[in-house]
Amino acid sequence: MSLHLVRAAGANSLALVSTDMARIGILGVGAVGARLARQLVSTDDDDVVLRDERRTRVEMVAQSLGERASINRGALDDPLDVDVVVLSGPARTQTHLAERFVRQGIHVVSTSDDVTDVKALLALDSQARERNVHVVVGAGFAPGLTCVLAAHATKKFEQIDEIHIAKSGTGGPACARQHHRALGRGAIDWRDGAWDFRPGGSGRELCWFPDPIGPQDCYRAELPDALVLVPAFPDVRRVTSRVSATRRDRLTSRLPMLWPTDPEGGPGAVRVEVRGRSEGRGSVVVYGAMDRPAVAAGAVAAVASRFIVDGALNRVGAAGLAESVDSLAFLAELARRGVRAAVFEGESRA
Amino acid sequence: MIRRAMVAIGMGALVAAAVRLRGSGVAPPRSGGWRELSGPGLD
């Protein structure tokens, strides 16, 4: 394997990038899967094998990517000759697939932000360890980028007390449907060493995202962030997560989705607030990022795949990115691909 | 009696809807801004 250092765009930091080509399978070529495939083909010179039950869609995506992309017409859970498989299909379709590929000894990256998926994927840990396989859980915008930002922020503290995640915006239609469902279901937070279940759509908080998203009302929802962050920071007292929503979103969250969504999603942002003690004093660090959620999620999944190929993950088994990667190297590589993080300087609360 | 009960239920529903819509938000930040992470440590 050959590695070389590159200077991250817009930053003076260095990212470790392999020049080895890999063969990556992508199961699901919606908004995130298509962006991910483009990243791997254009930035990493990887070969991608695309699988999706929507024939026209997969053909259109493959055609736009050129000769490095090929279509595999097998069933989603048929064996694949790849180094890593990325599960970028809709929520609640990924667990069974992950289990199949782990059994075959193939590394898995999942972009799901569904609580049921994330719990089931984390439960594959011992099975993945036995086979010396990586299962990266929640390699998207949130969880995903948020986990790496949280890990980066915690480096500034001697003791971590609280992590609060907020997300605004959705990727493609599948992501929008998942966001809609999550708002109508119970939230899972972590409080003083125990899981804390609260109603979805409650706990309004005005969260300030990087420009141009700015301030958005955010609410509790069925989000998996705490599930992947608590194992990474076992001493943390509180972990919460919220999504931005309008009053219409909240009032209709328990009904089927009544309106069409943008196939590519709109602009979005994430915000990660970490509270703890540094030099004996209480302190707060707020990180954020603004991008199209599908673009950022595609980049995060692409970098996670590259880290697996390069042997740059911290551990085998199933875990979120906060546990699995060096946050500085990961953020530097994301910056090189145009996904840049920001820090909020000033008063985080009045 | 039934009318009173209906009025009470209606009033309760209205108050619950108002509380649910209003929520219990905290004060927003009043100063500060975002700066892109930069430097070797992405600080």
**pLDDT tens, A196-242?**
999 999 999 999 999 899 999 999 999 999 999 999 999 999 999 99
Q: Output the pLDDT for position A35.
A: 94
pLDDT at position A258 over 90: no
**Which residue intervals of B1-43 are DSSP H helices?**
2-22
Residue A116, helix vs strand vs coil: helix
B11/B33 Cα distance (integer angstroms): 43
Render A218-277 in DSSP notation, one character per residue: EEE-S--HHHHHTTTSTT-SEEEEEEE--HHHHHHTTSPP-S---TT---EEEEEEEEEE
Does this complex have an ipTM over 0.85?
no
Q: Cβ–Cβ of A344/B23 closer than 8 Å? A: no
Average pLDDT over residues A76-84: 92
Nearest CA in chain A to B39: A12
Residue A348 with chain B: CB contacts under 8 Å: 29, 32
The answer to whether residue A14 scores a pLDDT higher than 80 is no
B33 reaches A (C-beta below 8 A): yes
When scoring A5, A12, A219 by the number of chain B Cβ atoms within 10 A, the one with the most, hence best to mutate, is: A12
Q: Which residues of B touch A335 (CB under 8 A)?
A: 37, 42
Mean pLDDT score, A287-314: 95
Those residues of chain A whose CB sits closer than 8 Å to some CB in chain B are 10-14, 152, 201-206, 208, 210-211, 215, 217, 219, 247, 250, 287-288, 328, 331-332, 335, 340-350
Prediction pTM value: 0.87
Residue with tokens 């590394």: A107
What is the mean pLDDT of the segment spanning A330-339? 95
